[in-house]
Amino acid sequence: MSFGLWCLSILLFARNAFAQSNPNGSSSDDVFITPNGYNIRNNGTVGPLIRLTGWEGCDVKDPCNPDLDKKAAIKKGFEDMQTMIPAWEDVPDPSDPPENSYDVNWEDAAAVEFFGSFQRTGEHRSNVQTNLNMLAQQENNIIGWSLHVRCDDPSHECGGIYDQAYTSHRAETYDHINFCDGYFRLRNLAEALDFGSQPTYRDNIIAYQSKAMTWAHELLHVSWLGKVSVLDQPYIKDELYSSNPKFQAYKAIDTKWLAFSDIPPGYGPANNPNTYAYFTMAKYVMKKKDYYPSSPIWSTNSDPPPRFVLADNFTEIESPTSCPTKI
């Protein structure tokens, strides 16, 4: 293949990836965001290359908050995720260029509790690192990418007030993320950090739930963003908590059980989106507050935690109504 044809094939591939969530092209409703990775390499001079498109049902008024701007809340959650999962850390020597990757110490408490011991994870760390880098950089190709987002619940999976979002892979609409009412009850990142760092809650990672964590979770489900570890499947699915498919490893205690269970790390933690969401939020707390929110703790490979353990939201403790304030 000639160099010219090679360049053309790359551009066509990138164009197709950019357009895959909206075959009808751009819309005036589209929202554009600059990826962290491009910002770093180009000092923020590159134009927006992430396109959020679609927005079906997002103009419907929220029954609990009629003044809520759902599009703004969805965009804010993405931008908060960019803050929660930085694409680089400050380097000791200012003359050194920043590293365009997510910094992980595989022997610290957070990495061990969410992904497994250093000895067990060796073979699969590169896959986890790839997914963490994707969340940090939000890069997919040289032109960028487009994602279909919506609020109209086409698959009827928004069953309760705490359901936050889901990613659908239906062929007729390509991959898309639907945001449920529960997403809009979640705190923004700064609010979550303030709430969780209260003396009553500060050690419990559940207290730091935010829209940013939901975005991290859902992006890993997108077939052309998240990288599946070991398994032969088209996209990352939620790891099963037991043989019952309704028992997915969503709760913080579930994700820690995965890391200590007999399930190999490459099959369990590496393929579980909420493991990444809790891990990156814990690392963000460590960076901002200089402590590790270690609770809930799980340190055995015995049977999984029982299902009657309280769900991961603090409004249940506060006796919510049908319109809870914040999760």
* Other CB atoms within 10 A of residue 208 CB: 29
pLDDT at 237: 86
| Domains of the chain: residue spans and CATH | 3-289 (3.40.390.10)
Question: Which has more pLDDT, 265 or 105?
Answer: 105
pLDDT tens per residue, range 302-322: 555 554 444 555 444 333 345
pLDDT at 123: 80
Question: Which has more pLDDT, 121 or 277?
Answer: 277
Q: What percent of the chain has pLDDT over 70?
A: 70
Total-model pTM: 0.83
pLDDT tens per residue, range 162-211: 789 999 987 655 789 999 999 998 999 999 999 999 999 999 999 999 99
Confidence tier at 14 by pLDDT (50, 70, 90): very low
Confidence tier at 47 by pLDDT (50, 70, 90): low
pLDDT at 141: 60
Name residue, tokens 């994700």: 255
Burial (CB count within 10 angstroms: exposed 0-12, middle 13-18, buried 19+), residue 71: middle
Question: Which has more pLDDT, 19 or 284?
Answer: 284
pLDDT at 296: 84
Name residue, tokens 């595989």: 106
Mean pLDDT of 31-46: 68
pLDDT at 101: 78
Q: Token pair of 210, please?
A: 């935010």
**Angstrom distance (rounded) from CA 70 to CA 58:** 6
Q: Token pair of 124, please?
A: 């699969």
